[in-house]
Amino acid sequence: MEYDIVIGLEVHAELKTKSKVFCSCKNQFGSTPNSNCCPVCIGLPGALPVLNKKAVELVIKAGLCMDCEINDKAVFERKNYFYPDLAKAYQISQLVKPICVGGKIELKDKTVRLNRIHLEEDAGKLVHSSRAIGTLIDYNRGGVPLMELVTEPDISSAEEAVEFLTKLRSILVYSNVADCKMEEGGMRCDVNLSIKPKGSDVLGVRSEMKNLNSFKSVYRAIKYEAQRQIDILEQGGKIVQETRKWDDNKERSYAMRKKETSQDYRYFPDPDMLAVNISRELVSKIKDSLPELADQRFKRYVSYSLTEYESEILTRDKAYSDYFDKALSVYFEPKTIANWFLTDVMSKLKGQDEIKISPEDLALIIKSVDDKVISTKVSKEIFEKAWEEGASVEKLIKELSGNIEGEELRKIVETLVAENEKAVSDYRTTDQPEKVLRWFMGQVMKMTKGKANATQAETMILELIKE
Ligand code: ADP
Ligand code: MG
Ligand code: ZN
């Protein structure tokens, strides 16, 4: 039989705030374990949470970027469960009244509807180290603001799931809501998956794979899980609703526990937290301040006459796009700057992501070529030196550009032109005068050992050889 794959994702992203969501401890990855902690975020009895307004605003911002409705009132609830990384034995989350409802993300060939986006707190981190007896706990991550986005079951393949996550990450990064650094656990994803006979309207029983932290493992986990379920059905078996753990090394998943339902968590409104009233003024203020997202930048680049291919690469990574825009703000020649970026910069970037030349410097090099202050050949040398040795671009341009100019240069040009009458008449009769001009320029450079100010030299030559 043929089957459809049905996937719904639950994605967690750590919000880009300075402090945690219910206390003023730092929200910072990589600090000494348990150094960013206080009575609130390690769950000491009697400590009271105070809501970080910025976290609420970031979730609203995310929601507005994805066409969600923003609720007038959001309520925090306690989700009760015990796990050693959850100091209070409950997580402050949102169930009935999340900040955002509905919404959508457009993929190439389909629209994925969103169910909701809500705000909650992250748990601490268990560290299993061979150097320690037992398991260590780092509570630095406890209380870090997390947004959780839940999709409708609209995704139909591993490829589409990765496309969705790529698009979501781009939106969150461009809007400065989250960094989504997968390697730091800044974005994690649960995959809910079921299969059904092709074309059927009835959804099958789903399994849920928790906490996948790379796009590659999402992709592999989906391929594996869909096949596992198909095999079971083909053999006349039944799928049980359960939570499974994906093991990326073994490339298979294991049953963890029977699926818990929201009943199991005994959600109830957190008596320590006031309901949050979200004013329409705040929402429209955030709406007015939304930054340009990747899709909009893409369109802008295409309007500069860049190809879709070029525009796609430049917007794939916000750092690239920011760099490109910065260079444009110094020297507005989109096509030339894009060319340099996509060839010279990109070939240097292979395998690493630090762009070792500032956008201002790159723009300066390119402008100097266009202004004929330096030759293309020299420009590549300067680029190389700036990138590899951190040399000052401004200084190099001064050093390597022509410093023979003015009267001194005029004498040289006059002698050259006087001694080459034939070339002068060629210039006047040929249909390719620019070739002759280039020959004259070459001669000037030869006579000055490349030290002539090229712009001036060209003007002077033209003055003398034009009729
Ligand atoms: P829970 O809160 O128990 O995890 P939800 O109803 O909130 O369950 O759904 C969680 C995710 O599972 C959502 O992304 C939803 O789209 C998806 N989902 C629900 N039913 C199915 C199904 N039969 N097959 C695949 N995904 C599903
Ligand atoms: Mg779930
Ligand atoms: Zn704290």
Whole-angstrom distance, CA of residue 278 vs CA of residue 283? 7
Same domain, 337 and 437: no
> Under the phi-then-psi rule, with left for phi > 0, alpha for psi from -120 to 50, and beta for the rest, what region is 147?
beta
* pLDDT in the model for residue 256: 85
Same domain, 455 and 375: no
% of the chain surpassing 70 pLDDT: 100
Q: Output the six-digit token pair for 330.
A: 């110094």
In one-letter notation, the amino acid at residue 281 is E
Question: Could you read off the pLDDT of 375-403 as tens digits, one per residue?
Answer: 888 899 999 999 999 999 998 988 887 77
Last residue of a domain, one of 286, 315, 346: 286
| Average pLDDT score, the chain | 94
Q: Which of 77-86, 313-322, 360-369, 393-402 has the lowest mean pLDDT?
A: 393-402
Same domain, 333 and 281: no
Whole-angstrom distance, CA of residue 357 vs CA of residue 249? 38
Residue nearest to ligand 1 atom 7, measured at CA: 150
**Into how many domains does the chain fold?**
3
Which domain does 263 fall in, by range?
Answer: 3-286
Quick one: which atom of ligand 1 is closest to the CA of 152? 16
Same domain, 233 and 336: no
43 lines ligand 1 (CB under 6 A): no
* pLDDT in the model for residue 158: 98
Same domain, 230 and 333: no
Residue position matching structure tokens 């730091």 = 184
Last residue of a domain, one of 286, 314, 337: 286
Relative orientation angle of helices 359-370 and 393-400, to the nearest 10 degrees: 20
Same domain, 311 and 184: no
Quick one: which atom of ligand 1 is closest to the CA of 8? 14
Residue 123 CA to ligand 3 center (angstroms) comes to 12
Residue 47 CA to ligand 3 center (angstroms) comes to 10
Question: Could you read off the pLDDT of 403-436 as tens digits, one per residue?
Answer: 788 899 999 999 999 999 999 999 999 999 989 9
Mutate to test the pocket of ligand 1, among 104, 192, 203, 218 (most ligand atoms within 8 A of CB): 192
Last residue of a domain, one of 286, 307, 341: 286
Same domain, 410 and 395: no
